[in-house]
């Protein structure tokens, strides 16, 4: 508090008006007046500076002891302003622009000395008090967010502390992003009355986009400063994945929810109604293993959601993810049965559709594509058992090409017109087989042929027959065409007299053959020419796998498609495998190959999952 100043006026009138001397002592000496015990202040303002934000009434408080007030004078910026009898006065901000001014108050009182002059109000004492008045009618200045980040499982915002003394409260508004309409909308507003409180955690945010605004309100006027906004985005993709960990169990994995403070549970919904759904209450538990009822090659859909402990703000969505899985591990898709495994090379060879034609591919033992050779439209190829000779149909030259099996280098191109005269028109089959001594059988629009590919010479030719395939044995000494068996006599293939009206399908080694007939498949011994075994099955397709020594029959049924696995030395199937529906019109098939069960739709599982010898 500033020091009070005062002045003293002593009344001397009696010195000039008395005409006789006193007989007794009527006067006594008293000490001079002092400022002890005198205070002057404004109610609610203890300092020397007064902040005025709007027109305001003030009240003077004073303590003058035994002095008698005689009057007061109040000026602001040198201009008098009214001071009312109750000690109040007004400062009207409309009369003064923003700035700093001096408020000067002078109070006159008696001296309080107790002298006769004091009692006669002849001793007048004045007290003066000055303040600096700061008039500021502007809105509070803006403050900014320092950062927004996850802290202890919740999203925390931190802002600058408001520096001025006119603080009333902070205002914080949250704007939620509406994904559907792609705009922000107000979710809530909070008011915080502690100036030192500069952090707030949002307990309702989980993931997505959000925007916050911060501003300050004044105490007296209620004016608000301009809000400062800051956006925050936390993209969370659970990245749900499903994988087979063995023949019966599927493991689901996903990414942990980033904000555990508003986490309640994960829910996993399994697409197959025969499987139970799951609820997981621990945020760090992101693995779920279950046993699906899905058939091989069949697809199941899965979905998972992250549920909050507290309801999310309007427009916000719970994080969700979905995936599908198939009973089987990934395998490159191929066309119908156009896939072979060569044990000598330990490679797979097959034909794939690619949208603009056909890709002939070679796969390594782990099912990864090593090399691609583009063909225009045909899927046909022939590979010898010893892995030396590979031929692919080539529509671009109206013929076929020989490829190096390990590099796909073109070793030769051959045209059908160089074999025979083109016909006027027929079917477009181009089936082919090749032996270990480079003898190639062809079936095409020109006819059916046996070719010596060492010198590209024609060994045998037959009229084209749409219903008859021409197939050569691995050693190149036997050949079937039109249901008839031919053997090599050193220069040509000659008929043996053995005839079978069934449909010839596949050599089993060099001395046995598979014939397909209505309701059965026969195994013929080509040395004794007797039927070794007949399998009474109604099959839509069949395939023999030399590696597993299993004969597979695929049957399309009304309830579920079925694979029957047979050993050649047993009449009854060793395994019956329900599989997902196949569609022959879409070139789909499931077959055993190299001790694996492979679907042309792009899936594989070990054959041991279904059959162990």
Q: What is the predicted pLDDT for the residue at 468?
A: 77
The tally of domains found in the chain comes to 3
Give the predicted TM-score (pTM) of the model: 0.61
User: What pLDDT sits at residue 16?
Assistant: 28
Instruction: Tell the burial category of 123 from Cβ atoms under 10 Å away from its Cβ (0-12, 13-18, 19+).
Output: buried
Query: What pLDDT does residue 506 have?
Result: 87
* Cα angle 169-170-173, degrees, rounded to a multiple of 5: 140
pLDDT (average), residues 107-129: 81
210 and 155 within one domain? yes
Other CB atoms within 10 Å distance of the CB of residue 16: 6
Q: What percent of the chain has pLDDT over 70?
A: 89
In a domain, 86, yes or no: yes
pLDDT tens string 463-484: 877 677 899 999 999 999 988 8
- For 181, 217, 242, 336, the CA distances from 153, given in Å and listed in that order, are 28, 30, 27, 53
Q: Answer whether residue 213 is part of any domain.
A: yes
Q: Are 588 and 597 in contact (CB under 8 A)?
A: no
- Whether residue 63 is predicted with pLDDT greater than 80 in this model: the reply is no
Confidence class for position 8, pLDDT limits 50, 70, 90: very low
**Worst-scoring range by mean pLDDT, 1-15, 98-112, 389-403?**
1-15
- Burial, 149: exposed, middle or buried (Cβ in 10 Å; 0-12, 13-18, 19+)? exposed
Residue 524 lies in a domain: no
Q: What DSSP letter does each residue of 515-534 carry, written as one string?
A: EEETTEEEEEETTTTEEEEE
pLDDT tens column, 202-261? 998 988 899 999 999 988 788 899 999 999 999 899 999 988 887 778 889 999 999 999
Write out pLDDT tens, residues 485-504.
999 999 999 999 888 877 77
Given a cut of 70, is residue 30 above it in pLDDT? Answer: no
Domain coverage including residue 43: 39-135
Q: Of 436, 439, 395, 435, whose CA–CA distance to 413 is shortest?
A: 395
Q: Does residue 83 belong to any structural domain of this protein?
A: yes
Considering 287, 304, 327, which residue would you say is the last residue of a domain? 327
How many whole angstroms separate alpha carbon 507 and alpha carbon 480?
Answer: 10
DSSP result, 474-525:
TTSSEEEETTEEEEE-SSSEEEEEEE--SEEEEEETTTEEEEEETTEEEEEE
Residue 609, pLDDT score? 85
Q: What is the CATH number of the domain that holds 221?
A: 2.60.40.10
Do residue 131 and residue 112 come from a single domain? yes
pLDDT at 271: 65
Final residue in a domain of this structure, among 298, 327, 356 = 327
pLDDT band at residue 112 using 50, 70 and 90 as cut-offs: confident
State the pLDDT at residue 276: 58
* Same domain assignment for residues 201 and 245: no
Answer with the one of 212, 234, 256 that is the final residue of a domain: 234
């Amino acid at each position: 508090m500033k020091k009070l100043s005062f002045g003293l006026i002593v009344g001397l009138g009696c010195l000039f008006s008395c005409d006789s001397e006193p007989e007794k002592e009527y006067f006594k000496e008293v000490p001079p007046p002092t400022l002890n015990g005198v205070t002057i202040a404004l109610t609610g303002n203890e300092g020397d500076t007064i902040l005025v934000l709007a027109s305001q009434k003030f009240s003077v408080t004073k303590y003058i002891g035994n002095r008698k007030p005689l009057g007061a004078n109040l000026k602001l910026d040198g201009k008098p302003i009214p001071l009312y009898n109750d000690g109040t006065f007004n400062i009207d901000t409309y009369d003064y622009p923003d700035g700093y001014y001096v408020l000067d108050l002078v109070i006159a009182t008696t001296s309080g000395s107790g002298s006769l002059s004091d009692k006669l109000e002849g001793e007048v004492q004045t007290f003066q008090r000055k303040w600096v008045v700061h008039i500021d009618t502007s809105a509070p200045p803006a403050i900014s967010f320092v950062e927004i980040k996850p802290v202890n499982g919740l999203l925390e915002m931190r802002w600058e502390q408001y520096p001025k003394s006119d603080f009333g409260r902070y205002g914080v508004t949250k704007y939620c992003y509406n994904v559907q309409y792609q705009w922000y909308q107000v979710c809530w507003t909070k008011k915080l009355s502690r100036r030192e409180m500069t952090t707030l955690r949002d307990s309702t945010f989980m993931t997505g986009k959000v925007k916050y605004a911060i501003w300050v309100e004044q105490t007296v006027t209620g004016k608000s400063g301009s809000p400062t906004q800051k956006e925050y985005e936390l993209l969370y993709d659970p990245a749900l994945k499903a994988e087979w960990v063995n023949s019966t169990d599927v493991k689901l994995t996903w990414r942990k929810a980033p904000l555990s403070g508003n986490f309640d549970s994960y829910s996993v919904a399994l697409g197959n109604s025969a499987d139970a759904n799951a609820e997981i209450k621990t945020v760090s538990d992101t693995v779920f293993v279950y046993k699906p009822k899905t058939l091989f090659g069949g697809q199941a859909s899965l979905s998972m959601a992250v549920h909050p402990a507290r309801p999310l703000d309007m427009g916000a969505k719970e994080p969700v993810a979905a995936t599908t899985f198939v009973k089987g591990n990934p395998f490159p898709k191929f066309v119908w049965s156009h896939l072979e495994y060569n044990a000598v090379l330990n490679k797979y060879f097959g034909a794939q559709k690619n949208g603009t034609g056909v890709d002939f591919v070679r796969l390594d033992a782990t099912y990864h594509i090593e090399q691609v050779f583009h063909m225009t439209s045909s899927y046909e190829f022939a590979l010898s058992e010893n892995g030396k000779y590979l031929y692919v149909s080539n529509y671009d030259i109206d013929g076929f090409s020989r490829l190096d099996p390990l590099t796909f280098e073109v070793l030769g191109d051959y045209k059908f017109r160089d074999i025979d005269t083109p016909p006027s028109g027929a079917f477009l089959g181009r089936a082919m087989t090749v032996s270990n001594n480079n003898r190639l059988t062809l079936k095409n629009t020109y006819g059916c042929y046996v070719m010596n590919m060492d010198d590209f010479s024609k060994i045998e030719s037959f009229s084209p027959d749409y219903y008859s395939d021409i197939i050569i044995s691995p050693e190149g000494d036997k050949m079937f065409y039109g249901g008839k068996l031919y053997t090599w006599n050193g220069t040509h293939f000659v008929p043996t007299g053995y005839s079978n009206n069934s449909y010839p399908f596949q050599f089993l080694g060099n001395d046995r053959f598979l014939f397909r007939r209505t309701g059965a498949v026969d195994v013929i011994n080509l040395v004794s020419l007797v039927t070794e075994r007949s399998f009474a099955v109604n099959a839509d397709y069949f395939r023999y796998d030399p590696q597993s020594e299993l004969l597979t029959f695929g049957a399309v049924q009304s309830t579920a498609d079925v694979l029957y696995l047979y050993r050649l030395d047993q009449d009854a199937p060793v395994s019956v495998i329900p599989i997902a529906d196949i569609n022959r019109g879409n070139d789909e098939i499931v077959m055993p190959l190299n001790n694996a069960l492979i679907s042309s739709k792009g899936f594989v599982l070990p054959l041991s999952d279904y059959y162990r010898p």
